[in-house]
Amino acid sequence: MIIDWYPGHMKKAREQIIKKLPTIDVVIEVLDARLPVSSANPLLTRLRGTKPCIKVLNKSDLADPAVTGEWVRCFEKQQGVRALPLIAKDHRDAGRLLKLCRTLVPTRGGKGERYLQVMVIGIPNVGKSTLINTLTGKKVARVGDKPAVTTCQQLIDLHNGILLSDTPGLLWPMLEDQQGACRLAASGAIGDNAFDTDSVALATLSYLSDRYPALLLKRYNLPDLPASPTATLAEIGRRRGCLVSGGEVDRHRAAELFLRELRAGLLGGISLERPGDPPESNAPSAARADDAEV
């Protein structure tokens, strides 16, 4: 997926958003609830300026509800920002989202008033198409499509005074920050060929050993936590029969199995980022988002 983001694509994506934004009343920024920092592109904050924004914390079914609550409180301290945990397929959640749009711009979308125009924006794989499908009730947005495929935009009348742009605004993932990129990989947001599965599994196991040891013990039926992520991965492999001939653990298969189960939510609700985590020395900034422009 990320290999599609060469500079020409970034420029085009940015221009499409800039072109569309003036007509938009509320920006719906879709983030992955498990990693709301790394699944954002800070360029959007700059582009939208003071325009009202709803940060949708999507895939909240896979995240730790307590941490998601902390993120909501944290984001809502920002000017003009509301935050809403969501499951993109859930129609009641979509209804809540539209209601929040109406409260943010009460002068639009009512009888005799101008339509309220909203647009969904985010990096690949956060659930934009799924959310648009739920909002429109039709299969208009292709789920899982590639950034490059996105073409002309249409406005869809949601029949409640709200017009939705049928094509999501696409932003590229910020991969300069290695640890953020690793979390994106763990979440499944960037293609499996683009990173080293074993290192992503080990880094994630290290985080989980620290934050969610009980979930690890329970899922893999471990009596206690091995001394290192490498040992934990080996133990997972042994218990799940990821072995090569001779009985040695196949670490790569164990890593794949672990990441697959994590992404499917089989370990339980897990958040990979929480407010107040120490900032990474090489964390992305708005300036660096601009550097990525061409």
Ligand X SMILES: Nc1nc2c(ncn2[C@@H]2O[C@H](COP(=O)(O)OP(=O)(O)O)[C@@H](O)[C@H]2O)c(=O)[nH]1
Verify binding: residue 87, ligand X, rule CB under 6 A. yes
Signed CA dihedral, 27, 122, 34, 174: sign only: negative
- Residue 87 binds which of ligand X, Mg ion, none (CB < 5-8 A, kind-dependent): ligand X
Within 8 A by CB and 6+ apart from 6, the residues are none
**Cα angle: 184, vertex 209, 76; to 5 degrees:** 50
Binding status of residue 59 toward ligand X by CB under 6 A? yes
Strand partners, 27: 53, 119
Q: Does position 40 bind ligand X by CB under 6 A?
A: no
Alpha-carbon distance 263 to 267, whole Å?
Answer: 9
Residues in region 137-196 near Mg ion by CB under 5 A: 145
Q: What is the 3-state secondary structure (H, E, C) of the chain?
A: CHHHCCHHHHHHHHHHHHHHHHHCCEEEEEEECCCCCCCCCCHHHHHHCCCCEEEEEECCCCCCHHHHHHHHHHHCCCCCEEEEECCCCCHHHHHHHHHHHHHHCCCCCCCCCCCEEEEEEECCCCCHHHHHHHHHCCCCCCCCCCHHHCCCCCEEECCCCEEEECCCEECCCCCCCHHHHHHHHHHCCCCHHHCCHHHHHHHHHHHHHHHCHHHHHHHCCCCCCCCCHHHHHHHHHHHCCCECCCCCECHHHHHHHHHHHHHCCCCCCCCCCCCCCCCCCCCCCHHHHHHCCC
Query: Total residues at the site for Mg ion (CB under 5 A)?
Result: 2
Report if residue 167 touches ligand X, rule: CB under 6 A. Answer: no
Q: How far is the CB of 227 from ligand X (least distance, A)?
A: 32
The distance from CA 30 to its chain's CA centroid, rounded to whole angstroms, is 7
Select from 39, 41, 58, 165 the one that contacts ligand X (CB under 6 A): 58
Binding-site member from 117, 130, 165, 232 for ligand X (CB under 6 A): 130
- Identify which of residues 129 and 187 has a Cβ nearer to Mg ion in the complex: 129
Q: Is 127 in the site for ligand X (CB under 6 A)?
A: yes
Q: Which residue is nearest to Mg ion (CB)?
A: 129
Task: Provide, rounded to whole angstroms, the least separation between the CB of residue 184 and ligand X.
Answer: 13
Q: Is 143 in the site for ligand X (CB under 6 A)?
A: yes
Residue 129 sits in the site that holds Mg ion (CB under 5 A) = yes
Which of the stretches 8-16, 39-47, 58-66, 237-245 binds ligand X when contact is defined by CB under 6 A?
58-66
Partner from Mg ion, ligand X, none binding residue 204, C-beta < 5-8 Å depending on class: none
Check binding of 88 to ligand X (CB under 6 A).
yes
Residue closer to ligand X by CB (options 57, 162) is 57
Which CB, 168 or 237, lies closer to ligand X?
168
What mask of x and - would describe binding to ligand X in positions 187 to 226, judged by CB under 6 A? ----------------------------------------
- The answer to whether residue 108 forms part of the interface with ligand X (CB under 6 A) is no
Least Å distance, CB 264 to ligand X, is 8
Name the site residues for Mg ion (rule: CB under 5 A). Answer: 129, 145
Name the site residues for ligand X (rule: CB under 6 A). Answer: 58-59, 61-62, 87-88, 122, 124-130, 143-144
